[in-house]
Amino acid sequence: MSREKQKKAPRPPKEKKVRKEFYLRDIKLGRLFYDNRFVLIFSIVCAIGLWFFMVLVVYPEETRTFRNVPVDVAFTDSQIEQGFRVSQDNPPVIDEIVVQGGRFDIAKLSVDDIQVSVRPSDVSSIESEGEQTKRVLITYPDGISEVRKSSETVTFRVEIHITREFTVEIDDSNITAADGYKKESPVSDYPQISVTGSRQLVDRIRRVVAITPEQPGPISSATKVTSVIQLLDADGNLITGVQPQHTEMDVTIGVQKIKKVPLAVEFKNVPADYESSPLKYTISPITEIELYGRPEDIDNLDELVVGTIDFNEIGAAGSQFDFDIATALEKLSGIKNNNSTIVSVTVTIDGSALTSRVFNVSQFVVLNAPSGTTITPDEQQLGNVTVVGPANLLSTAEEGDVVAVIDMKGKPTAAGKATTPVSWIRVKGKDSCWIQGDASAYPVSITVQ
């Protein structure tokens, strides 16, 4: 087939539409009501017009009902200072108020626009707490009038509010210390708080307690927790309806380490032979004690020294010495006794190997005399000096072996006669012996030249 035959035949030209001119004189009113679209639009316009007619002409006002309208009780300044308040357990309300007004005014009206209060003269007449029934005064916005209300009066309860201070207890029973540790007394942000509320409720409060929350496990270091404050009556019931100064507070629970250490004593005026080999003694009713304190302090403590024994107070039959644990712990900052039943101990010196002898002392030695000064003890004798020591040594001692030592260091040395106490008494060659009693109780006369 040739290319000429494949070509399509040309289309005929389109006819141009001619716009018909529109004239109002062509509209036929009778025919419009046969047009459904016109009838629909016409009906809507008529309905709107009728509605406006009914609203603005036939029924221009309407009513509205408000229920449980709150009533304001405005106390005088003097009453407020005395603590007068309206109980919020049953706030005063007017059960029902019916009002009327223009439709637009009524539509935008809210309960807050209606001001209901007790008449000021009735409020000022209140002199005590308790139930009150008073007349109400109602103010409406412009354009609004009252139709009716459920009551001309309102009943409410007046309370006298007070503020009182309470000491805050801390209940940390929910927190436990790890093994080998002891809880410290908890420390809080507020040792005391004030509580404000009706006198009736505040008078019921017996305890204010901060309850610590539970922890994931026992603690071994200081822990700070936020604790809820509860107000409790005598039976432990929770009191509400009052306002505490704080509803929660931070509480810090410290911990201290527990350690058991042996008990020991120290000696003074110790004879030379006992410096390396102390006298035997026993401590009762316990020989070791459980203490607690900060880890850095308790870890460095190897024993508790309960006191010091003066050798000059030990007799031949042995001796007993009582020591107070609390006094011993005063020397150790922050260390405390973990056993409250043990408050003192008794130290008993074993005297089974000891004996005593009485000597008259006539031998004197002067030490530390000032340079250029001669100090000579006058001829005299110290009688009835008791010496204690091992029996095998004292049996060989002679009176000439017992020497009274006069140490002049720090003492006045003016020329002439003087009296000075003995500094100490020793037994020559018997370094395991000592005198019983205080050497300074023996005065001696000396001549200073």
Instruction: Give the tens place of pLDDT for each residue, 384-428.
Output: 899 999 988 888 888 889 999 999 888 888 888 888 999 888 899
> Is the confidence at residue 32, as pLDDT, over 80?
no
Contact by Cβ (8 Å): 308, 265: yes
Bridge-based pairing of strands 304-310 and 354-361 is: unpaired
Q: 215-260, pLDDT tens digit by residue?
A: 999 999 999 999 999 999 999 999 998 999 999 999 999 999 999 9
DSSP 440: G
Average pLDDT over residues 271-285: 88
Whether residue 182 is predicted with pLDDT greater than 50 in this model: the reply is yes
- Which residues on neighbouring strands pair with residue 155, listed in sequence order? 133
Mean pLDDT, range 100-122, rounded to an integer: 92
CATH class of 161-252: mainly beta
- For tokens 């009513």, what's the residue? 63
Output DSSP code: residue 335. Answer: -
E strands, 184-330, in order: 187-188, 192-198, 207-211, 223-232, 243-244, 248-253, 255-268, 281-284, 288-293, 304-310, 320-324
Q: What is the pLDDT of residues 292-328, one digit of tens each?
A: 998 888 999 999 999 999 998 998 887 899 999 999 9
Domain range annotation of the chain? 61-151, 161-252, 257-349, 354-448
Res 163: pLDDT:
95
| DSSP-derived 3-state class of residue 442 | coil
Q: Does 35 score more than 90 pLDDT?
A: no
CATH ID of 354-448, from 2.170.120.30, 1.25.40.10, 3.30.70.20, 2.40.50.220: 2.170.120.30
Question: Using CB atoms within 10 A of its CB, is residue 426 exposed (0-12), middle (13-18) or buried (19+)?
Answer: buried
CATH code for the part of the protein at 257-349? 2.170.120.40
CB 353 within 8 A of CB 428: no
CA gap 393, 390 in Å, rounded:
6
* pLDDT at residue number 17: 53
Band of pLDDT at residue 174, cut at 50, 70 and 90: very high
Residue 91: the pLDDT is: 93
Quick check: 13 pLDDT over 70?
no
What is the rounded average pLDDT of the residues 340-356?
Answer: 91
Determine the straight-line distance between the first and last CA of the chain, rounded to whole angstroms.
Answer: 170
Q: What is the pTM of this model?
A: 0.55
Architecture category of domain 61-151 in CATH: Beta Complex (2.170)
Task: Answer yes or no: is pLDDT of 290 > 50.
Answer: yes
Distance CA 313, CA 351 (A): 13
Domain 257-349 shares a fold with domain 354-448: yes
Q: CB neighbours of 218 closer than 8 A, spacing ≥ 6?
A: 176, 177, 178, 179, 181
